[in-house]
Amino acid sequence: MKLQGKVAVITGAGRGIGRAIVKMFALEGANIVINYSKSKKEAFSLADEINNDGRETLVVKADVSKADEVKKMIQKTVTKFGRIDILVNNAGIAIPAAFLDSTEEMWDQTIGVNLKGAYLCSREVAPIMLNQKSGKIINISSISGMAERTAVNNTPYVVSKAGMIGLTRSLAVNLSPHINVNAICPSLIDTDMVEATFTPERKKMSIQEYLLKRIGRPEEIARAALFLASNDSDFITGEILTVAGGKAMR
């Protein structure tokens, strides 16, 4: 019960990595705010599952790229729980497009959800955590934002994830010493997003670059998030934790 009594806001929590993090955090004692934008059915079924296990939940529909919706989500959280201990900026989209094939709409949508969303959520949560003199912010970036050659042709996505790494380091400085801010950079994870954006051929080719010769599971990212959310990581901030099966090893 490493998160007993904590309140965690997890964006993009209806499916994939976000859903796995909700389950992991609830199992460890946290009460959860489940944010979704489109996955309403999945979000409420997840809440039912968590409630049956004795945790409290709040399900909030909010587009994290819109400041007014983020503000309302955080206000609802404080009204219900009175505090926020953990924020996981997980909401993300991927629209595969090389630079010359990308459009302004693709750019705005991807940067808006992936990067601006993390900024807006952190901006709303930070004053609450600073007032508490404690808090953990975890950004779910990607090895695509580091130096993954097979992904750098996907310009909007790569830039958004690289931006999350920069945002993580900036927030760690600006919100110290009371708030720990770290990022997780996964590789390919077995989620609906990967299924929608990777052809079987491309996935097979990518896996050959992994030392462990497989893609990751959402639960493996959730375990990393649990570490960064718990007291086990109290002396860690501004760091980028790569969970990539050896693919990003230097």
Annotation says 210 is catalytic: no
CA angle 226, 216, 231 (to 5 degrees): 10
Residue 115: inside a domain = yes
Query: pLDDT, tens digit, for every residue of 68-123?
Result: 999 999 999 999 999 999 999 999 998 888 889 989 999 999 999 999 999 999 99
Q: Is the predicted pLDDT of residue 197 greater than 90, yes or no?
A: no
**Which residue among 36, 119, 157, 210 is the active-site one?**
157
pLDDT at 150: 57
- Going by pLDDT thresholds of 50, 70 and 90, the confidence category of residue 196 is low
pLDDT at 96: 83
Strands of the sheet containing 179-186, edge to edge, are: 57-61, 31-36, 7-10, 86-89, 135-140, 179-186, 240-243
A 10 A CB-CB count for 56 gives 15
Q: Is residue 77 part of a domain?
A: yes
In a domain, 173, yes or no: yes
Cα–Cα distance measured from residue 115 to residue 218, given in angstroms and rounded to the nearest whole number: 21
pLDDT at 53: 83
Residue 249 included in any domain: no
Q: Residue 152: which pLDDT band, with cuts at 50, 70 and 90?
A: low
59 domain residue, yes or no: yes
Asked whether the predicted pLDDT for residue 191 surpasses 70, the reply is yes
| Residue 171 within any structural domain of the chain | yes
Asked if the model's pLDDT at residue 180 lies above 80, the reply is yes
Q: Taking a C-beta distance cutoff of 8 angstroms, is the pair 14, 34 a contact?
A: yes
Q: Give the pLDDT confidence score for residue 201 in this predicted structure.
A: 76
Segment 2-16 mean pLDDT: 96
Asked whether the predicted pLDDT for residue 26 surpasses 70, the reply is: yes
Within-domain flag for 93: yes
| pLDDT band (50, 70, 90) for residue 181 | very high
Mean pLDDT of 34-62: 94
Q: From the CA atom positions of the chain, what is the Rg in Å?
A: 17
Tell me which of 211 and 35 has the higher pLDDT.
35
Which region among 3-17, 31-45, 136-150 has the lowest average model confidence (pLDDT)? 136-150
CATH of the domain at 56: 3.40.50.720
State the pLDDT at residue 249: 67
Tokens 């949508």 appear where?
109
Domain hosting 228: range is: 7-243
Question: What was the pLDDT predicted at 35?
Answer: 98
- Residue 248 falls within a domain, yes or no? no
Distance CA 135, CA 83 (A): 10
pTM: predicted TM-score of the whole model, two decimal places? 0.94
Q: How far apart are CA 36 and CA 62, in angstroms?
A: 6
Q: Which pLDDT value is given to residue 194?
A: 73
Number of domains, the chain = 1
